[in-house]
Amino acid sequence: MRLKDDTKINSIFKAATELTSEVGLDKLTMSSIAKKAKVAAGTLYIYFDSKEQLLNELYMHLLMGGTLSILPSIQHLPLKKQFQVIWSNVLKFRVSNSSEVIFMHQFRYSSYVSAESNKLDEQFISFINNLLDRGKEELIVKDIDNDLIIPMLYGYANTLARQLSLDKVDVTDEIINQTFSICWDAIKS
């Protein structure tokens, strides 16, 4: 008997990601994914139960391979340095993977998103939460509810990366330093 071909899932994911960044999530069709991935439309249903499942799997795949894997084991570094490493990684990753970021952004606010996808998202938030709490203990982070701080980091990263990608600016060290100084001044006490 024949076995499933893992590289095929990659082509499917790649096709869906690129198409979304080209035409938008709302114009993304199963046939166009199939065509771009060079498989038959029916094949998509061997690997995924539905369009909804395909998109959720893709989202979780990108979240794990990208944003989450970025959280390095940097527990030993001083807090500010940890934030800086994360900021730099997130920004560089996002700008050099702009199709992925566009897909994630559009998917994140669509009605396709499942409970499971949502849960995975919270892992990243939770990591930042811990970092902020420690910063407050060390008295170097403003004593403001994390729920009021995190949207700044999250919203800024999203919006900035999207803008830099669209403008095809490449992320120099100067840009990283300048934008990080904005972030850090925002949250430091």
Partner DNA sequence: TTTATAAATGAATTTATATTCACTTTAATT
Partner DNA sequence: AATTAAAGTGAATATAAATTCATTTATAAA
**Cβ distance to DNA smaller for residue 9 or 79:** 9
If contact means CB under 5 to 8 A according to the sort of partner, which of its own copies, DNA, none does residue 4 touch? DNA
Do 19 and 2 touch, CB atoms closer than 8 A? no
Q: Which of 109, 134, 138, 170 binds its own copies (CB under 8 A)?
A: 109
Is residue 3 at the binding interface for DNA, with CB under 7 A as the rule?
yes
Do 17 and 55 touch, CB atoms closer than 8 A? no
At residue 188, the 3 state secondary structure works out as strand
If contact means CB under 5 to 8 A according to the sort of partner, which of DNA, its own copies, none does residue 72 touch? none
The length of the chain in residues reads: 189
Is residue 181 at the binding interface for DNA, with CB under 7 A as the rule?
no
CB of 121 to DNA, least distance (A): 23
Burial of 113 (0-12, 13-18, 19+ CB in 10 A): middle
If contact means CB under 5 to 8 A according to the sort of partner, which of its own copies, DNA, none does residue 69 touch? none
Using CB under 7 A as the binding rule, the residues of this chain from 27 to 66 that contact DNA are: 27-31, 38-47, 50-52
**Residue 4: what are its φ and ψ, rounded to 5°?**
-65, 150
Q: Where are the alpha helices (DSSP H) in 113-172?
A: 115-137, 146-166
Q: In the numeric block, which tokens belong to residue 188? A: 């430091």
Single out the segment in contact with DNA by CB under 7 A; choices: 22-30, 73-81, 126-134, 148-156. Answer: 22-30
At residue 141, the 3 state secondary structure works out as strand
CB of 176 to its own copies, least distance (A): 10
Residues near DNA (CB under 7 A) are 1-5, 8, 27-31, 38-47, 50-52
